[in-house]
Structure 1
């Protein structure tokens, strides 16, 4: 039923979005239309990556889901950088970190915990990811902010570029570690027969084709979505920070949100956690550094400098997730705790 609704939204939303853009409809109407269409397209991306995950296994599947889910946000961010909306981009990436660690993981733990009293996932992956999360946010994000206080803009940008290159190299090394040198060394704690009898919804070729077509459509709509931010912000009194942290982050990560919760409901916690935490790592260690480097091609460069509110929110989220996930188990109350933290931060960013 849900798939049919998203299919209807996509087949109506894409052509109507094109018509609305050409006819210069109201920015409010276009903003809502673009967001709903991107979310419906994200559902197709989620279904395609789920099919690929069944074939490739939980680690590769989670990585694919995170990658194509973040592709939406990466596309939106590139067009926002081109438009000079650096604060919106940084805020959206902050929102992505908060959304994945608190909203996505929280909903997954909560929904899965309502059906199963106790769910398990790979504790070794959880501890490995915890170390990377603490490095990415508490070292690579905080250090540039602290050192930039006594630096000029040129030195700050140089530090940001150096940090970005190191983050990208470390992220690629982490993938090599998990998927090549130590593949299968740390076995999953999840039931081994969880994926045996499942048949993918789409074939490998069809799933890849759907991903490519959906990504192209998202790229087109995202370019026009960015141009509605300023008007919508003024109309509703939303700051760039709130638009980035909450609105863009939720829209940009819709595919991951749906897929992670669905996997948790099916008791496939390895995939669910890989989507939530793996996506956060990809944003922090790959997407953000890549955007810093891409911004050098545009008129306004983007240094790796967040506001103190953003930094404290991200550090708090990482610490909370590390404490909750390090035992390799989850329940509905832990999910509710993560959701409560997200709501509190959301209220704070709204009132800021």
Structure 2
């Protein structure tokens, strides 16, 4: 039923997106159409990725889901960079970090916890990811902000480029560590028994759907970016709120749905890998990559966030580490993460 509704969003939304952009419909109407269409397309990307990942195990499955889920936001951010909307891009990165850690993980823990009293996942992976989260947000994001206070713009950008290259290198090393040199080393015996599951689509069909959905998302995303300024003016929203809440939720719709479904099926290793793995990919790969891509445009993007953005991300990381390090969760822990996200959302709205 849920997939049918999302399919209708694509079938109806995609033609309306093309017609509306050509006929210059009202910006608010187009904004709503574009967002709903991207959510529908993201669901197709999530389902295609899940089909490709069924035989690959929870780690690679979660990585694939996070990668193609983040592809939507990366595409939106590149067009926003091209339009010079640096603050929207930084805000959307913030929104992705707190959205994945608090909203996606929170909903997964909550929904799964309503069905199961306790849900377990690999605590070794959780602890490994905790260290990377601390590095990515507390170290790599805070350091540029601190040093930027006494630097000029050129030096700040140079520092951001250096940090970005290091972060991408460490992220690739982390993948090599988890998927090659230490694959299965910290795996529990009960996790080695894999449940047989049939993919929704064959590998060939899933690949074609993934390719076509990505192209469609790129087209709709470029048009979506052009509505931001009008929407902000008409609704009284700040670019910060649009980036942190709206763009982040729309851009990560695929993995939002996938993580919750996995938690409901009691596949918590996959759900946690999607939520935390996606956060790490945003912080250690997507954000640095956008800094490097911005060098191609007239306005360059340093890796310098505002104080509210930094505090929100650091708080989300610390809360997630405390809750997830024991490899055990329940609905109340999910509710705690969701409450933190709502509090931050209200704060960003009122800024």
Per the normalisation by structure 2, the TM-score is 0.99
* Deviation readout 1:10-40 (Å, 9 max, x if unpaired): 1111111101110100000000000000000
The Cα shift of 1:192 comes to: 4.6
Distance 1:295 1:228 in 2: 21
Note if contact 1:190-1:269 (Cα within 8 Å) is conserved in structure 2: no
* Deviation readout 1:290-338 (Å, 9 max, x if unpaired): 0000000000000000000000000000000000000001100000000
Task: Say yes or no: does 1:329 pair with 2:328.
Answer: yes
The Cα shift of 1:55 comes to: 1.5
Matches within 5 A, 1:232-247: 232-247=231-246
- Residue equivalent to 2:260: 261
The Cα shift of 1:188 comes to: 4.2
* Deviation readout 1:55-74 (Å, 9 max, x if unpaired): 21111110000000000000
Structure 2 gaps of 5+ residues are none
The Cα shift of 1:189 comes to: 7.2
Q: In structure 2, the residue corresponding to 1:150 is in which secondary structure? A: coil
Matches within 5 A, 1:1-352: 1-188=1-188, 191-193=191-193, 195-352=194-351
Change (3 A) 1:188 1:23: farther
Distance 1:268 1:48 in 2: 18
* Deviation readout 1:90-141 (Å, 9 max, x if unpaired): 0000000000000000000000000000000011100000000000000000
How many correspondences in the alignment?
A: 351
Distance 2:77 2:171 in 1: 20
CA RMSD of aligned residues (A): 0.9
* Deviation readout 1:162-206 (Å, 9 max, x if unpaired): 00000000000000000000011010476554x422111111111
Per the normalisation by structure 1, the TM-score is 0.98
**Aligned structure 1 segments of 4 or more residues deviating by more than 2 angstroms:** 188-193
Distance 1:189 1:174 in 2: 23
Distance 1:332 1:191 in 2: 22
Note if contact 1:121-1:190 (Cα within 8 Å) is conserved in structure 2: no
Distance 1:104 1:52 in 2: 22
The Cα shift of 1:279 comes to: 0.1
Greater mean deviation of Cα atoms: 313-322 or 204-213: 204-213
Note if contact 1:122-1:190 (Cα within 8 Å) is conserved in structure 2: no
Distance 2:177 2:292 in 1: 25
Q: In structure 1, the residue corresponding to 2:302 is in which secondary structure? A: coil
